[in-house]
Chains A and B, each alone.
Chain A
Amino acid sequence: MTAPTGITRVTLLKDLRLEWRSKDAINSMLFFSLLVVVVFSFSFDPTAEESRQIAGGLIWVAFLFAAVVALNQTWAREIRNQVLDAYRVSPAPANSLFMAKTLGNFIFVSVLEALMTPLFIMFYRLRSLGPAWQLLLIAVLGTWALVVNGTFFAAMSLRTRSREIMLPLLLFPISIPALLAMVQATADILNGEGARFWIVLLATYDLVFTTVCLLLFETVLNAE
């Protein structure tokens, strides 16, 4: 019990510390999100009513693209330093590494969301008519859905041709139920309805895919 969580904690803290020093991922994600917001703003000039309808889609598309930026660099450091080979021969459970990477990505993307949300509220004059705490729940569940699959697919894409395009190519189709839930739940909550169905769907999706990714990660890591 201590060994796996120990490895997870150590790896996670290492990644957070390295990121805090360089701020590579967070800076590129932030800038990218901002660009997406600005480009979207050219397509329409919404009223407050319209904003509530479309904000869900806009916000999550921006976060999705930003998440891909973070996910693409998940394993970059490990590859550069042959760390993955070390993990393959060590008795340390591969899942600890996977959880550390997923948690790290989750934190990075969550920080991005926390920074971007005030900007979105300001740019699109958003005000929630429904229970705003549910928005937080959606954000947590939705981000986890993107990040758990994304970290898994990032590991899969490592030795493929066109690695950077392979990740979104694999991630987007499979994420569609989760994305639909995030977008619709956000729109529903902003418009004053509850989103209980979408929350349950997202929670189930997270449970299923986290389990399967954990079951298959070691296989994928050792594939050759």
Chain B
Amino acid sequence: MKRVFPILSVLTAILLIYALYQALVVAPTEQTMGDVQRIFYYHVPSAWTAFILFFVNFGASILYLIKRRPAADMVALVSAEVGVVFLLVNLVTGPIWARPVWGIWWTWDWRLTSTLVTWLIYVSYLMLRRFSSGGQTPTLAAALAVLGALCIPFVYFSIWFFRTQHPQPVIGGDGSIDPRMMHALLINWLAFACFAFMVCWSRYRLEKLQRDVNQAHAMASLLAPHGSTR
């Protein structure tokens, strides 16, 4: 089991390099936007991966509310944290792509706005985990995760309607896509999904270790002889 992690890490790195090659070399250059469109191969998979992670968070939170397993709580924490990181990548690459193509860094278009709101919801989840007192954190966080996840469809739907009433340029384009581009996109998605899995695994191991340390601290203060300090 110990050797699986390094082996998978190396495989993931190789896959990422291959995906980069696909994105920068193999995929054809876009007609109107040129090479800068290749940001797409990082921008979109980041969002898709983040949403998979948020879905995992939703599932783990519900599992925790039903079964109260600490492992479920840890998976919820890890998936939310890594999801926030991936969505941050999406939110940063979006404006970097928008600026040369549309001339503006930001616009309150449907996708960007909805993504930003989703990001805010999960950041608030992480803040609750940080600020609440130890014993109740898993339960409160799980409840918030359920509410947050249920909110996401409302976020996307309401902002979509708002934008059909008050249209803005849509960043990220829509419509058909060249099959070679789709191929590169899917490879990058696979690579980033594997990468996300490895990051989650690492974060999970850290969390497990952190909780063991906290427990060891607690035991040490319980067993400490009278008068000794820690």
Residues of A within 8 A of B (CB): 149, 152, 156, 159-162, 166, 169-170, 172-174, 176-178, 180-181, 184, 197, 201, 204-205, 208-209, 212-213, 216, 219-220, 223-224
Contact A173 B154 (CB under 8 A): no
**20 contacting pairs across A/B (C-beta < 8 A):** A156-B128, A156-B140, A156-B144, A159-B133, A159-B136, A160-B131, A161-B133, A166-B131, A169-B124, A169-B127, A170-B128, A172-B124, A173-B120, A177-B159, A181-B158, A197-B161, A209-B147, A212-B146, A216-B146, A219-B143
Contact B135 A177 (CB under 8 A): no
Residues of B within 8 A of A (CB): 65, 117, 120-121, 123-124, 127-128, 131-133, 135-136, 139-140, 143-144, 146-148, 150-151, 154-155, 157-159, 161-162, 165
The 4 tightest CB contacts between A and B, nearest first, are A223-B139, A223-B136, A177-B154, A173-B120
B residues near A172, Cβ cutoff 8 Å: 120, 124
Nearest Cβ in chain A — how far from B85, in angstroms?
18
Docked pose: A156 CA to B140 CA in angstroms: 7
Contact A173 B136 (CB under 8 A): no
Q: For the A-B complex with A205-B154, A223-B139 known, give 8 more contacts whose Cβ atoms are closer than 8 Å.
A: A152-B147, A156-B143, A159-B133, A172-B124, A173-B121, A174-B151, A197-B161, A201-B161
Docked pose: A78 CA to B212 CA in angstroms: 36
A residues near B151, Cβ cutoff 8 Å: 173-174, 176-177
Contact B147 A174 (CB under 8 A): yes
Docked pose: A15 CA to B193 CA in angstroms: 52
B residues near A176, Cβ cutoff 8 Å: 117, 120, 151, 155, 158
Contact B143 A224 (CB under 8 A): no
B residues near A212, Cβ cutoff 8 Å: 146-147, 150
Contact A177 B143 (CB under 8 A): no
Contact A223 B140 (CB under 8 A): yes
Contact B150 A161 (CB under 8 A): no
Nearest Cβ in chain A — how far from B133, in angstroms?
5
Of chain A, the residue at the smallest CB distance from B138 is: A223
From A159, A170, A208, A209, give the contact of B144 (CB < 8 A). A170
Nearest Cβ in chain B — how far from A99, in angstroms?
17
A residues near B157, Cβ cutoff 8 Å: 177, 201
Docked pose: A204 CA to B127 CA in angstroms: 28
Nearest Cβ in chain A — how far from B11, in angstroms?
37
Nearest Cβ in chain A — how far from B191, in angstroms?
30
A residues near B161, Cβ cutoff 8 Å: 197, 201
A161-B143 CB under 8 A given contacts A173-B120, A180-B159: no
Contact B121 A220 (CB under 8 A): no
B residues near A156, Cβ cutoff 8 Å: 128, 132, 140, 143-144
Of chain B, the residue at the smallest CB distance from A175 is: B151
A residues near B139, Cβ cutoff 8 Å: 219-220, 223
Contact B154 A201 (CB under 8 A): yes
A residues near B127, Cβ cutoff 8 Å: 166, 169-170
Docked pose: A74 CA to B144 CA in angstroms: 19
A residues near B131, Cβ cutoff 8 Å: 160-162, 166
Contact B124 A170 (CB under 8 A): yes
Nearest Cβ in chain A — how far from B35, in angstroms?
36
B residues near A205, Cβ cutoff 8 Å: 154
Of chain B, the residue at the smallest CB distance from A215 is: B146
B residues near A201, Cβ cutoff 8 Å: 154, 157-158, 161
Contact B158 A173 (CB under 8 A): no
Contact B158 A177 (CB under 8 A): yes
Nearest Cβ in chain B — how far from A175, in angstroms?
9
B residues near A178, Cβ cutoff 8 Å: 154
Nearest Cβ in chain A — how far from B72, in angstroms?
14
Docked pose: A181 CA to B159 CA in angstroms: 9
Contact B128 A166 (CB under 8 A): yes
Of chain A, the residue at the smallest CB distance from B118 is: A173
A173-B124 CB under 8 A given contacts A160-B132, A181-B158, A205-B154: yes
Of chain B, the residue at the smallest CB distance from A153 is: B144
Docked pose: A219 CA to B224 CA in angstroms: 35
Of chain A, the residue at the smallest CB distance from B117 is: A176
B residues near A184, Cβ cutoff 8 Å: 162, 165
